[in-house]
Chain A
Amino acid sequence: MDLKEMHEKMVPPMIEGDHTFGTVSDKIGDVALKRKTPFHWFIGFAIAFIIAQLLLFTTIWLLLKGIGIWGTNQPNGWAFPIINFVWWIGIGHAGTLISAILLLLNQKWRTSINRFAEAMTLFAVANAAVFPLVHTGRPWLAAYWLFPYPNVMGIWPQFRSPLIWDVFAVSTYGTVSLLFWYVGLIPDLATLRDRAKNRYFKFVYSVGCWGWRGSARHWHRYELAYLILAGISTPLVLSVHSLVSLDFAVSQLPGWHATFFPPYFVGGAIYAGFAMVLILCIPLRHLYNMKDFITKTHLVFCGKVMMATGFIVLYSYAMEAFFGWYGASQYEWFMIKNRIWEGPYWYMYWLLLFFNGACMQVLWFKRFRESEIALFLVSIAVSIGMWLERFVIIVTSLSRDFLPSSWGMYSPTVFDITMFVGTLGFFFTLIYLFVRFLPVISIFEVRTLLPAANVHGHSEDFEENVLEIEYTYERTDPPNRD
C-alpha cells in the first residue's frame, strides 16, 4: 500500500459524486437562486415563525408585568432564563470550533459544514443574548448600565462581578462570530450575485459582497482576514463558556463553587454544539440533496467529536461527585447527596445521566456512528441532556443551600416554557431564512475539495485549473496596478 492509498483509506473523501467546480456552484447556489422554494420549506418556516411569536408575546408580557410571571423565586434567583442562556451559548460553540480551530488545524472536513455551523452559532448567540437582559428586574436599565459607558456620575460597572465579564465575553463572541461568518460569505455572495437572475436579489447580493471580484489581491486579503479572525475566534471558543461558567464558579454556593467549571463547561458546550450541528445537517442533506457535500464521513467525524467531549462531560460529573465527597465541606457533600439521591430533584440528575451519558454510548459502534437515525436521536438526547445539566447545576444548588430554613422549590410557569419554546422557534426561523437566501455550504471552499483543486506544481493542469477558476467569474481581475 503506498502512501496515497493509505491516505485515502485514513481520510475518506470529503466530497462524493462526480463534481466539477461548476456543478458545485450550481448545486449549492441554486438552492438560493433557482430552485423553486420547496413546499416543506413553507411548512417548516411557518411552524417555526408561529412558535417564535411565543417569544415575542412572552417578552412583551414580561416587560409589562415583571419577571414574577416566571417561576423564579427567592432561593432560586436564577432558573429557566439562565438555564436557557447557558444552553444556547453552549450550542454556539460548535460553530466557532468548526470554523476556527479546525481551520487552523487544517481539517478539510470542516469545509462542508462550517457555513451553517457558523450561522447556527450566530443564531444561538442571538437567542442566548435575549435571556441575560430580560431576566433582570429592570432590563431597560440593565441594557446599558452593564456597559462601561462614560457618564456624569462617574459610575462604572463593577468589574469584579462575573456578570460583567459575561457581558464582555458574550458581546465579543457575538461580534467576532458575525464577522467571521460574514467574511466567509463574501466570495459566495459574489458568486450568487453573478448568477442571480432576479434583479432584486442581484442588488442585495451585490451590496452584500462588497464588490468582490475574486482578484488575487482580494483572495490574498480574504485569506489573511479569515486567518486573523480564526485566530481571534480560537481563544473565544474556550473563553466564552469559561466565563459563563465563572458566573457560577465565582459564587460560593455549594454546587456552583468549583474550580474545574471552565473546562467542564467548554467540554459540555462543544458536546451540545455538535449535537445541534447534527440535528441541523442530517435533515438538510436530505431535504436539499446535499449528500455529496455533507457525506457520511462528516457525520462520523461529528459523532466522534461528540464522543470525546461527552466523555469530558462524564468525567466532570464524576469529579464533581468526587470533590463533594473528598472535600471537607459538609455543604458540598450534602449538595452531592441532595443532587443525586436524597433531594427532591434526584430524578433530574438521573435523566441527565441517561440523556447525556448513556445515550452517547451507542456511538462506540460503527454501525450507529454511520447511521443517520442513530446520530440524530443521540443528538436530540444530548441536547436534552445538556439542558438538564444546567437545570441540575442551577436549580438543585440554589434550592438547597446553607440554611435549611430558606430552602425552597422551583417550578416553572407557563411563561418560562413559552419563553424557551419561543427561542427555539426564533432559532429555526432564522435557520429557515438562512437556508433559503444564503448558500448553506461554502461554495468556494467546497470547490477546493475537488480533486481538480488539488493540483500541485506548475503544470498544464494548473493552468487549466486556474483558467477554470477565472472562468467561473465572468469578469476577470484587472491587471495588477501596484
Chain B
Amino acid sequence: MPSQDSKKNFALLRDRILGRSGKDYWRSLEEFVDAPEFEEFVKREYPDHAETWDDSLSRRNFIKVMGASLALAGLSGCVIQPPEKIVPYVSQPEGTLPGRPLFFATSYSIGGVAMGLLAKSYDGRPIKIEGNPEHPGSRGATDVRAQASLLDMYDPDRSQHVQFRAEPRSWADFQTAFRAAIDQDRPNGGAGIRFLTETITSPTLIDQFKRLQAELPQAKWIQYEPINNDNALAGAKMAFGSTAQPIYHFEKAERILSLDDDVFSGFNVAYLKDYAAGKAWSPEKTDINRLYVVETTSTLTGAKADHRIAVKPSQLTEVAKAVAAKIGVGGATSTYTDNGKWIDAMTRDLMANKGKSLVVAGRTASPVVHALAHAMNNALGSVGQTVTYAEPFSPGTDRAQTDQLRDLVTDIENGLVKTLVIMGGNPAYNTPNDLRLDFNRLNTKVPLRVHLGSHYDETADICHWHVPEKHYLESWADGRAYDGTVTMTQPLIDPLYDSYSKYELVQLCFKENFDKKDYDIVRAFWQTQNVSAPAAVATTAAAANTARPTAASPANNASSNNANSAPASGTTAAGRGSQANTAGSAPAATSANAATAFEDRWRKYVHDGFVGNSAATAKTVTANSAFLSQPQPSQPAANGDLEILILPDPNVYDGRFANNGWMQELPKPLNKVTWDNVGLVSPKTAEKLGLNQSNRAEEYVGGDHGIAFINTKGTNQFSDTVDLTYQGSVIKNVPMWITPGQPDDTITIFLGYGRKRAGAIGNDIGYNVYDVRPSTALDFGTGSVKKTGEQVTISSTQIHFNMEGRDILRSWDLEAYNADTKMGEQEDMYPKSLYPYEQHQETYEHHHRWGMTVDLNNCVGCNACVIACQSENNIPVVGREQVDRHRMMHWLRIDAYFGGPDINQPNGPHFQPILCQQCEQAPCEVVCPVHATVHSAEGLNDMVYNRCVGTRYCSNNCPYKVRRFNFLLYQDWDTPQYKLMRNPEVSIRSRGVMEKCTYCTQRIAAARIEAEKAGLSKVPDGEIVTACQAACPTNVFTFGDMNDPESQVAKIKKNDPRDYKVLNELNTQPRTTYLAELRNQNKEMPDYLNPETPVGENLSQSPNTL
C-alpha cells in the first residue's frame, strides 16, 4: 500500500529531522539527499524527478532541497506545535486594511539621543521611516541614519539565532547558562559581573540597572562608545563644577560661532530645523542668521558658513582663547596671533548681538574649548536665551567613558571580571588600541563573555555566547531625545529572527521575574512612573484613512491600532512575543481607576511616540573661568610633522553602518566618495608631499574657473596611498584626497572602515583607524605619512566641483541681494519657442499642476533626502565597481560646487539637490522611440518602465542628467529579506530599463484617490509630501499644485524673487525651480567677498559670488 509506505517514510524522515537539534538540524538536510529513505520517498512520490536527486549538490538542486526542506519542516510541524498563536482576522483590527499602509510612532537612538519616528507599515512590514511631526527631536524630519536604519533591519547578514562558540543554541540554553553564572556570583554581590553598553538614556534600562544594583551591588555598568561626549562633559565640569548638557536654541541665535562643531553632520534634526528657521529668507523676512565657523577640517557646517577659517586641531584651544579674550571672558589669554582681523570683526559682531548670539564647541574640541564656549555664552548673555543646560540624561557621566573603559580593562587585567556582558556596540573593533577588548586580553581573564548584538561581528567572535539583538523596529524600548523628552519605541513587526533586547537580557540577572518580554518590562516601568497624565487620550481617534506620513492622521492610525490592544500587529497577529495578549491583560491593580488611568496614559505615550512635557528642566549653572588658571592637560607627545584628525565617517559613522549598502553607496557629502574612506589633505600639503599630483590639477585651479576639485581626472579617481603613522602606529595604504578648505599640514582620517566581520557588504573596505587610535589621543595628535608609491581607484560620483562659470547654483550676498531683489530675474523663454504652447496650457488648467521648489539657502547637504528617496522608490545599490563606472542609481543627488577665488580659502562646497526637473518641454520625451517617457496631464514626466527598451537617448538628451539606467540586473530579486523591505507601491525595475524621479508619483496617486473619495475636486495643499521633502530637516523642498494659488509652492514661485530655473536658456521649462542661496556676509570681515567682483567668465551678467 503506497499510502502506508509513504506514511512510513514520512515517519522516518521526520524522525531523522527531529533527532537533530541546532546546527545539525539544518545540516541534516544535506544528508537527507543521500539517505536511502529519502531516495525511496522521492521515487515513490515524484518518480520523474527521482534521478535528479542523485546529482551532487548543484545550485538547482540546492534550491529544490530548500523547497523540500520547507515541505519537510511542515511535516515536522504536524507533530510538535511550537507555542505559536496564529490568529487570523476573525475580526479585523480597526484601521487595518490589507494593502493600506499604517504609520506607527516609534523611535531610533544613536549615541543615546532618541529621535521620534513614524514607521510606515505595509501589511505588517515596515517599509519606510518618516519623522514624527510631534516629536521635539524630529518634528517630522529625519536624518540619513534613521532612514538607512530600515535596511539594517532587513540585512540578510544579521545573526539569526543564539550561538555558543558559533554553535547554534536555544534561548533557553542561554538562559540556563547565563543565570547559572550570575547565581554563582550572587553571593559576592555580583563583583565579577560587568555590563558594557553604549551610551544609554533609556529610563527603563536605567531603572533596571538601578534595581539590579540592589540585588548585585558589586556589579558594574560601563558605558562606552567611540563617539561620545567626554570632552563636552569634561568642559562643562570645568566651567560649572558639575556636568551639564547644553541644549541649543538655534532659532533664537542670529549670530552663531562654531568652534569646530559640525552641527549639521550630527544626528540632531531639531538643531537643523532651528538653524534653517533662522537661515530662511522670504520677502517678509529678509534678515537671516550668520554663521561663523572655526574648524579643523572641512565639514558640512563649514560649507554652510558665512565666514570660515581653518586651523590646525592643536591650535583650536588657543583660537578659542583668543576669541574668549575679545569677548571678555576673564583671564583668557592666547598665544594665537593669526587671523587677528577675522577674530576682531567676528567678536564685534557677536557682542553687538548680545543675547542673540551663540557659541558652540565641537565634540573633538578639548574640554577647555567647551568650557570657554560656556564662558563665552555667559559673557554674551546667551544662557537662557540661545542655550540652556540640563542634567545629562545618561547616568555615570561624572566619569568619562574612556575612563570607564580603562577601569574595565584594569579590572579584567586584574582578573576581577568573571562575566562580561556586552550589550550593543562593538568594543572588539572600536575601542582604543591600548584598551582594546580583544581576544588576547579577554581569553584567559574573563571566563564568561556574552554579546548581545544584531550581527555576529568582531565582538561576537570573541565572546562565548552571542545573542541576536532585536532591531528597534522589532522591540519595545524608550529613550530620551536631545532635550530630554522621553521617547517610546514600539515594534512594527515580530522579530524576523530569534532575537532579544537589552531589557530582556538585563532582566535575566534578577533573581525573580527574570523571564519577561521587553513589552512587559517597559510597560511595567512606566506604570510605576507618575508622569502627569495628559488630559486627552486618543482612544476615539478617527479611523485611519490617509497614507499621509505627516500631520495628525498617521498618529491617528497608530492610535486606533493601539486602542485595539494590538500595538504591533499590522499582520503580525501571530505574536511569538505575544505582546497583544499581555497588553490585553493589564496587571491587576488595586484601583480600577488607577489601572484605567495608566492604560490611557500608556496608550497615549505609545501612540504619540513620546511622553508629553517630559523635556528636561533647565539646570541652573554658573560658568566661572577659574579653569583657565588650572594647569592644562598635556598634549600627546609630538611624533610627526603632520597633525592627524580623526572623525567618524559621515556615512558609516563609527562602523555600525558598515554593512548597510545604502550608506556605503551614499556619496559622502563633501567629496562624493563612496564605498571607501579617504584621508583628507589640503592642496598645499598635497603638493608638498607630492600626493595626487599626477591628476593634471593645475589647469582647473584659479583663473576663469574659480575653484575646481583637484582629484578630477577621468572616471577613476586615482589616489596616491600613504602609510600613515599616528602616535607610533601605522595604518597601511590610506588613499589621499585633496580637499580645498582643509587646514595645511593636517590630515583627516575617518573611523568606521576596515571591518573584518561586518557582513558581506562591509567586510574589508577601507582602512581601520581604531587600530592606531590610543586612548591618550582619541581625536587628534601628530603623525606622519610616507608615500607608498601606489595608486588606488576611488569611486566618487562627482568628479568636477566647479561650475565653469555657468548659472547653475546661485549663491548671492545677502546685502547685495536685499538691495536689489530683482537681480536674478530670468528671461521668459516661452515666447521664443517656435511652437505655440497654448493647447498644453489648456490641458493643465483642468488638472493639478505639480511643481516643486528647492531652497538652496536652507540645504546643508546632509543627504537625508537621498536615502529617503532610495528607500521610498526601491532604488538598488549597484556596488563599488559600478559606481566606479559612473553608474550610480540615486534618483536624487546632491551636487556640490566650490566657490571663491582661492583654492586654499574656498567657500562651500555649496549644495544643490538635483532630481528630475519635470520639464514642461522635456527633451527626454521627444527622443524616446517607444513612448516610454511621456508627459502626464498633470505635467509630470512619467516613466513607463515596462515600455522602456533602453535606448538611453532620453538620458543623453537630458541636460540635468537625472536619469538612471539599469545597465545590469542591479535589483536583488532573490534575497527574501529584501522582498519584505520594498515599497509595494513602486515597481522594481529590471535590467535594461531607464528610471528616474517622478515626484513620488505613488504618493500623488494615493492622495488623489483619497481626495476623490472625499468628494474633493483637488488634492488639498500639503496632503502630498514627497519622500525627500518629508525627510528634509531644513525645509528645502516644497511640493504642491501650482494651479492652486493658495498652495505654498505657488506662492513661493510667485512671490519669492530668488526663484530661478536651472538652464533656463534651454527652454525646458522645468517645474522644479530653485531658490538662490544667500550668504550673510559681514562686510568688516577680511574674507568678505565683494559681490561686485564676480569670479568666472559669465558672471558679469549674474551677481554670483560663487
Contact = CB atoms under 8 A, between A and B. Distances in A.
Nearest to B952: A77
B952 A344 contact: no
Interface in A363-408: 398, 401-408
Contacts, number: 179
Interface string A46-85: 0000000000000000000111110111111110000000
A106 interface: no
Contact of B886 (A73, A160, A401): A73
Interface string A69-111: 1011111111000000000000000000000000000000000
B687 interface: no
B929 A402 contact: no
A450 interface: no
B497 interface: no
A274 interface: no
A291 B168 CA distance: 85
Contacts of B949: 136-139, 141-142, 145-146
Interface in A216-260: 247, 250-253
A13 interface: no
A157 interface: yes
Given A251-B923, A410-B715, A163 B931 contact: no
Interface string A138-163: 11011001100000000111101111
B74 to A, nearest CB: 36
Contacts of B948: 137-138
Given A66-B991, A161-B953, A164-B929, A409 B896 contact: no
B799 A408 contact: yes
Interface residues of A, number: 55
Interface stretch (B418-426, B586-594, B619-627, B960-968): B960-968
Contacts of A334: 804
Contacts of B947: 145, 155
B968 A68 contact: yes
A142 B804 contact: no
Interface string B478-489: 000000000000
A82 to B, nearest CB: 10
B507 interface: no
Given A163-B929, A167-B929, A74 B953 contact: no
B354 interface: no
B959 interface: yes
A157 B931 contact: yes
Q: Number of contact residues on B: which range applies?
A: 35 or more
B991 A398 contact: no
Given A163-B953, A409-B886, A67 B967 contact: yes
Nearest to A161: B929
Contacts of B716: 409
A67 B966 CA distance: 9
Nearest to A73: B886
A171 interface: no
Interface string A294-336: 0000000000000000000000000000000000011100100
B914 A403 contact: yes
A342 interface: yes
A138 B992 contact: yes
Given A330-B1097, A402-B960, A163 B950 contact: no
Nearest to A405: B895
B165 interface: no
* Interface majority SS (helix, strand, loop, mixed), chain B: loop
Interface in B800-852: 800-806, 808
B789 interface: no
A68 B967 contact: yes
A23 interface: no
A192 to B, nearest CB: 43
B955 interface: yes
Contacts of A404: 800-804, 806, 808, 897
B953 A398 contact: no
Contacts of A69: 968
Given A163-B927, A330-B805, A407-B800, A66 B992 contact: yes
Nearest to A146: B929
B1098 A75 contact: no
A407 B992 contact: no
A156 B928 CA distance: 12
Contacts of B1063: 402-403
B961 A74 contact: yes
With a 10 A CB-CB cut-off, give which of A142, A161, A331, A403 has the most chain B CB atoms.
A403
Nearest to B800: A404
Given A136-B949, A157-B929, 20 more contacts: A68-B967, A73-B886, A74-B955, A77-B956, A137-B948, A137-B966, A141-B949, A142-B930, A146-B929, A146-B949, A155-B930, A156-B931, A162-B927, A164-B929, A330-B805, A402-B961, A403-B914, A407-B800, A411-B714, A411-B715
26 contacts: A67-B950, A73-B715, A74-B886, A75-B886, A136-B992, A137-B949, A137-B951, A138-B992, A138-B993, A158-B931, A161-B953, A163-B927, A250-B926, A251-B956, A329-B1065, A342-B699, A344-B713, A344-B714, A402-B959, A403-B960, A403-B961, A404-B802, A405-B798, A405-B895, A406-B960, A407-B799
